[in-house]
Structure 1
Amino acid sequence: MILEIVAVTGGLGLLIAGLGMAILRLLRGRSIGVMLAVVAVVTVAATLAGVVAITIEMIIDGHPKNVVLTVVAVAGLVGLGVALAVARQVVAASRKLVAAVEAVTASRDYIPPAGPLPAELTTISEALDQAYGRLREGRERERALEGARRELVAWVSHDLRTPLAGMRAMVEALEDGVVADAGTVRRYHNQIRHEVDRLSHMVDDLFELSRIHAGTLRLSPRRVGVGDLVADALAGVEALAKAKGVRLTGEAGHVLPVYADADELGRALRNLVVNAIRHTPEDGAVVVRVEADERIVRLSVADCCGGIPEEDLARVFDVAFRGEAARTPGPDGGAGLGLAIARGIVEAHEGAIDVVNEGPGCRFEIRLPISEAAT
């Protein structure tokens, strides 16, 4: 008898459950309240199916049967009422969350709904807050990048126009025969070649910076000896230092190799040294040091520039920042892109770069991780 009741009750329960799942599948795009109501109805129907099975077997009859059916019916109505109340709360909380999202505008940030929310909706609200925070940071970076681009166009337009105007004047003088003596002609030719080399260097810097900003800088990392990197950088700028009357010093002890693109990282270090030479007065010194611990290699470039104003320290690596009001490039042809390029290259290596005032000048420092591949 018991097995027969269990079989009938289980069969009816499975049938009702299957019907309920089919209804929920059809209503999966509807309100949560409707779904909870369906769940409550399915629960009551399954319970009634069990009572019906018992009644069919004549275990309960007469007045007891009516009492059982009444109790089950009342319990079902109570369950349905509770389900509808919970559904209203969930729907109200969902609408509050939707209203908070719809209130977000370009001038207004996301404000989480007031009052408690169900745990799942609270998690969604926190995730939305974080997502909108990242979007806000992205917009701020985009605005800063757009401002830097406009500033770059203004600076480079000026820096290109000045040497082009000088070359045009010299070319016209040579073409018109205004300059005829061999010494002046040779000087004009040398000056034109110098300006062409300077413009070519500026174009190379612009191309490198555009690759960094576009995220298309491709690195070819391999084991690189930091001491060799410093030696190559100093050798490449030795002539510039002698012409300026600046002493160059390199201090590199036994340091583990780093896993990096030697050409790009060498360019970043060379840009820092050239910048230091450019701002160090005659008879000053530029010192390049290499230090390391178990996890990080530090390459520092110290100069005698007299220091950088505190309000400018945060802008040193910005595009076209020269630390001076005059836009006219110096004799070395700097376009204000070297430090921005150095930062992009270092960050592409998952490193960091910063600057602090120290001693008679300032100290730029590159920090690179010692990867397992390098060790």
Structure 2
Amino acid sequence: MALPSSSRFTWIAVAALFLFGGLESVVCFKYFSEQRWTAGIALLAAALLGWAFHRAVGNLAQEPVNTGPGPSPLAAGSDLAESLKSKISDLDAVRANLASREKMHLEWVAYLSHDLATPLARMLRRVETIQYDAAMNPDEKEETLELVHRDITELAEIVGSISQLAILESGIERCFKDMPLKPLLESTFEDFQYEASSRGIELDLQVPDDIGSVRMEKSLVKRAVENLLSNAIRFTPEGGLVTVSARRSEQTVDIVVEDTGTGVPVQELERVFNFAFKGEGHIRISKVGSLGLGLAMVRKVAEIHSGKVSANNVEPNGARFVVSLPTTS
């Protein structure tokens, strides 16, 4: 029979001798004192606990060490640090984006308050003039009522544009279909013939017959072209020209609206499609005044179709706006 190792056996033997008081005490249990019995049990328990701990540590020490391939603790710690840095960077980006959107929304509320208040204030003054100015003749009243009607139309356009932009931002599911582009551009072009001619502006349509189809939601693309045409006519002087054209490449179909108007200041070309953008100098924003909704809607429509928009000036004067949509696969 194998005996325990010397150190473990020694402690257990000492505990047993202390407990039983020697060999003679084993025979004469009646002579054990209560104090020696209690102390002996405690010492024996401690010895057994120490032996068990020593055995566990010994087994652990004899376990083979894995020196094969695998991430070391330092490498794992480095990976964790990099992961945390990446997460912190992502959170910072989200925070910056939220702050930017919050600022944009606050600015938009300020613009909205101003641009709604302006026609409302004009309407109030004109209605009060009609109501309280007894000296107004019928022709003056009719002229003032026409101005009130114009203010109401402007308000309706602002509210309608806000509603449509909110729908675009909602992210609702869209119904895309392969639609021929030329008929859409032709019908939109015809819708603006009267407005252009009444301002002394010539409209020109240049769309090849083989322009083909685009996968799109027709009503959205039509509204984007309407906004571009309205914007071009608004900023083109009498005797000017507005051209609507389209061209197809391997990857995109470009819808182009070009005018001979005031152009866009170079420093504003990158921002002119921004939501609630107010330009400086010769501002060119949308048919709904200074809210900047019209061109913002054009960009949103392009994004919904996985496309993009751009603006640049043309020589000797004027601006060119381009909506690029992916070709039908």
Q: TM-score, normalised by structure 1?
A: 0.62
* 2:308 aligns with one of 340, 352, 359: 352
User: Are 1:363 and 2:326 an aligned pair?
Assistant: no
1:159-174 to 2 correspondences below 5 Å: 159-174=115-130
Contact 2:288 2:294 in 1 (8 A): no
Q: Which moved more, 1:197-206 or 1:277-286?
A: 277-286
RMSD: 3.2
Structure 1: distance between partners of 2:131 and 2:150: 19
Structure 2's unaligned 5+ residue stretches are 1-55
Aligned position for 2:234: 278
Aligned position for 1:230: 185
Give the SS at the match of 2:119. helix
User: Are 1:176 and 2:132 an aligned pair?
Assistant: yes
Structure 1: distance between partners of 2:155 and 2:324: 31
Q: Give CA deviations for 1:46-66 in whole Å, capped at 9, x if unaligned.
A: xxxxxxxxxxxxxxxxxxxxx
Give the SS at the match of 2:323. strand
Evaluate the alpha carbon distance shift between residue 251 and residue 170 of structure 1 in structure 2; reply closer, same or farther with a 3 A threshold: same
Aligned position for 2:260: 304
* 1:199 aligns with one of 138, 150, 155: 155
Structure 2: distance between partners of 1:303 and 1:76: 85
Evaluate the alpha carbon distance shift between residue 164 and residue 276 of structure 1 in structure 2; reply closer, same or farther with a 3 A threshold: same
Aligned position for 2:277: 321
Identity %: 27
Aligned position for 2:34: none
Q: How far is the alpha carbon of 1:306 from its aligned partner?
A: 4.5
Q: How far is the alpha carbon of 1:75 from its aligned partner?
A: 10
Structure 1: distance between partners of 2:279 and 2:126: 31
Q: Give CA deviations for 1:30-77 in whole Å, capped at 9, x if unaligned.
A: xxxxxxxxxxxxxxx9xxxxxxxxxxxxxxxxxxxxxxxxxxx89963
Evaluate the alpha carbon distance shift between residue 169 and residue 226 of structure 1 in structure 2; reply closer, same or farther with a 3 A threshold: same
Contact 1:148 1:318 in 2 (8 A): no
User: Are 1:337 and 2:322 an aligned pair?
Assistant: no
Q: How far is the alpha carbon of 1:366 from its aligned partner?
A: 0.9
Q: Which has the larger radius of gyration?
A: 2
Q: How far is the alpha carbon of 1:201 from its aligned partner?
A: 0.6
Contact 1:351 1:367 in 2 (8 A): yes
Q: TM-score, normalised by structure 2?
A: 0.70
Q: Which amino acid aligns with 1:352?
A: K
Give the SS at the match of 2:277. coil
Contact 2:308 2:325 in 1 (8 A): yes
User: Are 1:293 and 2:249 an aligned pair?
Assistant: yes
